[in-house]
Amino acid sequence: MAEKTKAGCRQVTMKDVARAAGVSVSSVSLALRNDSRISPSVQERVRREANRLGYRFNLSGALLSQSRPKLLGVVAHFDQELHTAYVREIADLASGSGYRIIAENAALYDDPATALEKLAQLRVANVIAINPPVYNTDEDILPTVVIAQDTDLPQADLVRSDNMQGVTELASHLRQLGHRCVYYLAGPQGVSGDARLEMLASVLKREDIEMYPWQAGNTLSAGFAAMQDLLVRLWQRGRNAEAENFFPARVGALGKTTAIVCYNDQCAMGAYLALLKAGIDVPADVSLVGFDNSAAGASPAFSLTTIDRCPRKVAEAAFSLACARREGRETEIRRVTVPTHLVVRSSTAQANFLRRVGK
């Protein structure tokens, strides 16, 4: 496989690179594919000489020439920060293991199966799907590994988060801060969304905390719109309430509601902006909690208390299962659970009525 030099004067071949690096031509081919059979030091030497000579490896041709190319597909929604975190971690793991990753953005297609079909056209036989929908397509192109809370794909390995651990820590945290009534801005309906709603309601109830669900979504815009709608409802209820202490005199307070828990950090950031626009202080008037421990949520701009899904550990489990499938090392369907934990930041504080009493 020959390519022109940077100057375009002559073609450089693998033989040139092999001679310069002091290795065989086959070793050059393997090294440029990040094959684990070639040591990291040799791979680095081969790449260095290839760059110096101006050689460009024809990856597509190399993949086509292989009967079973070391390719893994990933299907995700790129508008979801947690999904992109999973893709980034999987790609990082693949780069050190001789695998190539091809990622498809499921959000681009009306039919979810289109992403799988495109990967199949590229000869990708093993696919990791992140929180996939129900597919209506050929069984031989369905995902082999799923990252979600559950799956209806009987042939796929599953990597799930133990949300119970993080949610239990969250409920205890809210209880200790004096919160007794919270609203939950719920995500899209589906396996993961419904499971999280049921779990939150059950765990908060054990801590004697009332929880009221309010439909939102999994994006910043959805969180913003849902929070605005909820504010209108709470303020209208306050104006109509007979109990004098239902709606506090302080501008921006939300009655007996002292905390908002959101489906994910993106939803929480949208809710934060809606609260800010309405003159409501986080956390002085209301505490706010996210889910996923995103980079944006962790920034000083939001400083969200959140539940960490540990994307690196999830990615490691999914990548390991996908590699085992590709290499034929596993035949039984496997289920792997990754723990979660609460990350406390400045968006949660003592319940507002307790803060006022203490003044």
> Domain with 270 in it: what CATH number?
3.40.50.2300
pTM given for the model: 0.78
With cut-offs at 50, 70 and 90, classify the pLDDT of residue 100.
confident
> Domain with 21 in it: what CATH number?
1.10.260.40
With cut-offs at 50, 70 and 90, classify the pLDDT of residue 249.
very low
For residue 281, count CB atoms less than 10 angstroms from its CB and return exposed for 0-12, middle for 13-18, buried for 19 or more. Answer: middle
Q: Is 8 inside any structural domain?
A: no
Q: Is 359 inside any structural domain?
A: no
With cut-offs at 50, 70 and 90, classify the pLDDT of residue 253.
low
Same domain (yes/no): 84, 147:
yes
Same domain (yes/no): 303, 323:
no
Determine the structural domain holding residue 234 and report its residue range: 163-310
Same domain (yes/no): 111, 203:
no
Same domain (yes/no): 211, 283:
yes
* 8-state DSSP, 178: T
Q: Is 345 inside any structural domain?
A: no
**Residue range 109-130: average pLDDT?**
89
Same domain (yes/no): 295, 252:
yes
Domain count, the chain: 3
Q: Is 358 inside any structural domain?
A: no
Signed CA dihedral, 215, 217, 223, 228: sign only: negative
Same domain (yes/no): 143, 231:
no
Rounded to 10 degrees, the C-alpha dihedral 174/175/177/181 comes to 70
| Range in 117-121, 327-331, 346-350 the model is least confident about | 327-331
- The string of pLDDT tens digits covering residues 183-211 is 999 999 887 888 899 999 999 999 999 99
- The string of pLDDT tens digits covering residues 265-298 is 999 999 999 999 999 999 999 999 999 999 999 9
Please report the pLDDT score of residue 199 as a whole number.
96
With cut-offs at 50, 70 and 90, classify the pLDDT of residue 330.
low
Q: Is 350 inside any structural domain?
A: no
Same domain (yes/no): 217, 238:
yes
With cut-offs at 50, 70 and 90, classify the pLDDT of residue 175.
very high
Please report the pLDDT score of residue 287 as a whole number.
97
With cut-offs at 50, 70 and 90, classify the pLDDT of residue 173.
very high
Q: Please give the mean pLDDT across all residues of the chain.
A: 87
Most confident of 69-78, 96-105, 266-275: 266-275
Same domain (yes/no): 180, 148:
no
State the CB neighbour count (10 A cutoff) for residue 352. 25
Same domain (yes/no): 271, 303:
yes
Same domain (yes/no): 149, 204:
no
Same domain (yes/no): 42, 152:
no
End-to-end Cα distance, the chain: 77
Q: Is 191 inside any structural domain?
A: yes
Report whether 74 contacts 119 (CB < 8 A). Answer: no
Report whether 196 contacts 224 (CB < 8 A). Answer: no
Rounded distance between C-alpha atoms, residue 285 and residue 212, angstroms: 18
Same domain (yes/no): 22, 136:
no
The answer on pLDDT for 108 being more than 90 is: yes
Higher pLDDT, 199 or 3: 199
Q: Is 3 inside any structural domain?
A: no
- The string of pLDDT tens digits covering residues 301-322 is 999 999 999 999 999 999 999 9
Q: Is 37 inside any structural domain?
A: yes
Report whether 131 contacts 147 (CB < 8 A). Answer: yes
Higher pLDDT, 329 or 216: 216
